[in-house]
Structure 1
Amino acid sequence: MSSEEFPIPISPSITLHTLLSAPSQSSDRPALLLLHFWGGSNRIYQPSISLLQARYPIIAPSLRGWGTSSAPADATAYRITDYAADIVALLLHLQMEHPTLLANGIVIAGHSMGGKLAQVLLSYKEVAPLVRGLVLIAPAPAGRFALPDDMREQQIHAYDSIESASFVVENVLLGKAESVSKAAKKELAEGMVAGSPGARAAWPEYGMAEDYERAVVESVEQYQRGRGQLKVLVIVGELDRVEEPGNVESRVAVALRNTGADVKMDRMTGVGHLVPLEAPETMASAITAFVESF
């Protein structure tokens, strides 16, 4: 079973290029909705998709401004709520055009910025009834996070050139520079630089600082009143310099546990921030075990 990318128009101005795949045999397993990190695209999940697509339907969009998806010229159009509105529209489109993909609900898997987006999506009435669990991979917290001014300025320009993006890949994002191939690192850097100016700047400029913590707490509590305990798998890389394991545990795992969610945390040895590329087999195994436990 192979995945195929489709340009899916979800509004008059936005088209999300989305990898879709369905197993050859029908089952009662949920679809995996895969949301990527700031600087990436759906391509980062390709190694994992090849391991998961025989068991689960796959929905993997490139978010606005990344990959080959549409890129609004408005520099303020890359808020988490803008990304969330796009995903809601994508799911509504799939319910109409590919209803079997969503017939058994979804597990939302979000990496880094995509992890913040995954948490926020639970607050949307169109999404919550579909959700059977969350997989948060090196996730950014739902609440506000502010960088020092000098670091913030560096991040805004981190993807301005192949040279700067390559430096970030090797020295910030990867746990060990040798953990992925030169070709994969080159593709990552090229994808970062190809992102729209608005998308490249948005996360450090204002996306990190957006505070949805209260909204997420309320949506999890509401979900559990109507659907039962929310199941969450949090995956972190032992060597992550971006979303350090201790911060993820305190600001994401503990915060969700305090709402009553059933949260499991999986620390991956020798892995940095780019879990889907550094440890696709281990990550796919962890996701499979989590989903099969429902």
Structure 2
Amino acid sequence: MQRSGIYQVDSTTNLHVVSASNPDSTKPTLVFLHFWGGSSGTYEATISHLSPNFHCVAVDFRGWGLSTGPQLAGSYSIHLLATDIETLILKLGIQDFILVGHSMGGKVAQLVAGRNLVNGLKGVVLIAPAPPTPFELPGDMKEQQLTAYSSVESAGFVARNVLSASKLPDETISSLVEDMLKGNKFAAAAWPSYAMGEDIVDQAIKIKMPVLVIGGGKDIVEPVERLRKEVLGRIQGAKLIVVEESGHLLPVEAPALVARLIRNFAASVVE
């Protein structure tokens, strides 16, 4: 059974959290961080395969889903998102946990793991993660990203033709589009404007716990070769598994397989 709640992490920010199952002292809690334009709901199908065996916690980042954030440009950086997650984990009293981060959420997960400010982090699963290296879009592409989630039509096009390599059901596309349009204007602008340009390499190279990277063989957003070079090339001991037929939206396109990979990783971490 899923439960949801709102948790205040600072004076301007309240995070919506969805949890499934109950904490189990013999297994780590799985904490899920979504992509730019997503929400806790991005992981619903994946979590349905995991919650019979694991306590799962999925978070809406500030300004996305049902979470709130400052009405201020510059307040949605990777560093601030990471601080929110560190604060939330302490508030929730989570002991041992694995971070699961997708795309932008993967960059946040790398920063949390590299800073290592919260006790109990046992491992990290990075799903089609944004690398720790700074990335600057050319001007025309930045403009395209800034307007990608500006309407039902544009968001639907991105979901079908850019983010996924599978023919997703109409109801799944509708759910993705709803999330994309729900982000406040400051959260939506942050990723293409400055967050993808943040350099967290100094923190990523400090990650010492086990890391699994899951890439999509048909991902045009974070291609496998970029993951090999810029993520595995900087995180010591990280392992890569490629889901050949999937695009960028692995938790939506291949939820059962992603869940199995997370389950196997969690078992290896607690052995």
* TM tier, smaller: over 0.9
Greater shift, 35-44 or 190-199, is seen at 190-199
CA distance in structure 1 between the aligned counterparts of 2:19 and 2:52, rounded to whole angstroms: 12
Equivalent in the alignment of 2:129: 139
Equivalent in the alignment of 1:182: 170
CA distance in structure 1 between the aligned counterparts of 2:173 and 2:243, rounded to whole angstroms: 20
SS at match of 1:293: helix
1:213 to 201, 212, 215: 201
Equivalent in the alignment of 1:117: 108
CA distance in structure 1 between the aligned counterparts of 2:121 and 2:221, rounded to whole angstroms: 27
CA distance in structure 2 between the aligned counterparts of 1:214 and 1:83, rounded to whole angstroms: 17
CA distance in structure 2 between the aligned counterparts of 1:92 and 1:107, rounded to whole angstroms: 14
Post-superposition shift, 1:30?
Answer: 0.5
1:245 to 199, 214, 224: 224
Report whether the alignment pairs 1:52 with 2:40. Answer: no
Equivalent in the alignment of 2:9: 10
SS at match of 2:248: coil
SS at match of 1:135: strand
CA distance in structure 2 between the aligned counterparts of 1:253 and 1:124, rounded to whole angstroms: 18
Q: Write the letter of the residue equivalent to 1:147.
A: L
1:81 to 58, 61, 79: 79
Post-superposition shift, 1:194?
Answer: 1.4
Unaligned segments of structure 1, at least 5 residues: 96-101, 225-229
Percent sequence identity is 38
SS at match of 1:5: strand
CA distance in structure 2 between the aligned counterparts of 1:137 and 1:145, rounded to whole angstroms: 18
CA distance in structure 2 between the aligned counterparts of 1:7 and 1:23, rounded to whole angstroms: 18
Q: Write the letter of the residue equivalent to 1:266.
A: I
CA deviations over 1:183-208 (Å, ceiling 9, x no partner)? 11011112111110011111000011
CA deviations over 1:151-198 (Å, ceiling 9, x no partner)? 01110111111111111111100112x1x2101101111211111001
Equivalent in the alignment of 2:215: 236
CA RMSD in angstroms comes to 1.3
| Cα contact 1:37–1:112 (8 A) shared by 2 | yes
CA distance in structure 2 between the aligned counterparts of 1:145 and 1:243, rounded to whole angstroms: 11
Equivalent in the alignment of 2:255: 280
Unaligned segments of structure 2, at least 5 residues: none
Between the two proteins, the alignment pairs up a number of residues equal to: 269
CA distance in structure 2 between the aligned counterparts of 1:263 and 1:216, rounded to whole angstroms: 11
2:182 to 194, 198, 210: 194
| Cα contact 2:113–2:124 (8 A) shared by 1 | no
CA distance in structure 2 between the aligned counterparts of 1:55 and 1:23, rounded to whole angstroms: 9
| Cα contact 1:174–1:271 (8 A) shared by 2 | yes
Equivalent in the alignment of 1:99: none
Post-superposition shift, 1:21?
Answer: 2.4
1:107 to 85, 92, 98: 98
Greater shift, 78-87 or 2-11, is seen at 2-11
Post-superposition shift, 1:27?
Answer: 4.3
Post-superposition shift, 1:23?
Answer: 3.9
Report whether the alignment pairs 1:41 with 2:20. Answer: no
SS at match of 1:8: strand
CA distance in structure 1 between the aligned counterparts of 2:238 and 2:182, rounded to whole angstroms: 36
Q: Write the letter of the residue equivalent to 1:115.
A: G
SS at match of 1:4: strand
Post-superposition shift, 1:293?
Answer: 1.2
1:156-175 correspondence to structure 2 within 5 Å: 156-175=146-165
